[in-house]
Amino acid sequence: MFTVNRYFNPYREVGSVEIDALVFDVLGTLVDEPAGIRAGIREVVPDADADGLLKLWQDHVEREQQRIVEGGRPYVASDVLDHEAAQLVAAACDREPGEFATAGRRLPAWPDTVAGLARLAERFPLIGLSNAGRASLLRINAHAGLRWHQALSAEDARTYKPDPAVYELAVKVSGTSPERLLMVAAHAWDLRGAQAAGLRTAYLSRPVGDPPSPSDRFDLHAGDLADLADRLGRS
């Protein structure tokens, strides 16, 4: 279990289960990943089709992460995949890949993120759980002003979400059982992975997320972090 100081009350319930800590996805959930990459592309090539190049970047990263999870490619950290994506974007607009080197790390926080995390941190230990590699996650956190009690990278599991091994990182560091952790994400696929690993789930609505399907059954749905804090406060 966490060592909880007097400012924490970890025993908040979701349904009939007490929650010891909140586990947050980062990319898309707490930072606007597409906006950051798009802005990085426009800095280099102002007149380019930034949306098309962004799609090229994101499709490559998503495809290669899936290949790694499925065993079709040996594990490489997200920094490598971002570099490969930058090479594709650079080739498409006749630039050097290094010009896009930091685009995947300078990602703006959503307007409610910093204040929302601070409010939730008054009652819960907060764990970041990201597919970003360690080096990238450090810089993403610093650029966006994210503050954690623990930040975990999928690099430590040498795979990517939704592989159960990534969610197990949060279970191990918390020292508690999976059902006492609440996974918060803007991506239904991420929450399904968390459910399969035994975690409770909260869908956070974002413009760039992956919305739930009619068959999804998540424990909570929230419009933003303030709404999530309110819902947890009423539980």
What would the pLDDT profile of 91-143 be if each residue is shown by its tens digit?
999 999 999 988 999 999 999 999 999 999 999 999 999 999 999 999 999 99
Please say whether the structural domain 12-32+107-234 has been given the CATH code 1.10.600.10: no
User: Does the structure show a pLDDT above 70 at 4?
Assistant: no
pLDDT tens digits, residue range 217-228?
A: 999 999 999 999
Kindly give the residue spans of alpha helices, DSSP state H, lying in the chain.
33-44, 50-69, 78-92, 113-121, 134-144, 164-174, 188-196, 225-234
Under 8 Å between Cβ of 188 and 213: yes
- How far apart CA 156 and CA 77 sit, in angstroms, is 10
In the chain, ranges of CATH 3.40.50.1000 domains: 12-32+107-234
pLDDT of amino acid 235: 61
Under 8 Å between Cβ of 31 and 107: yes
Under 8 Å between Cβ of 85 and 61: yes
What pTM did the predictor assign?
0.92
Contacts (Cβ under 8 Å, ≥6 apart) of 77: 133, 134, 135, 136, 155
Give the percent of the chain with pLDDT over 90. Answer: 89
pLDDT tens digits, residue range 28-60?
A: 999 999 999 999 999 999 999 999 999 999 999
**233 pLDDT tier (thresholds 50, 70, 90):** confident
Under 8 Å between Cβ of 167 and 199: yes
What CATH number belongs to 33-100?
A: 1.10.150
| Rg (alpha carbons) of the chain, rounded to whole number | 18
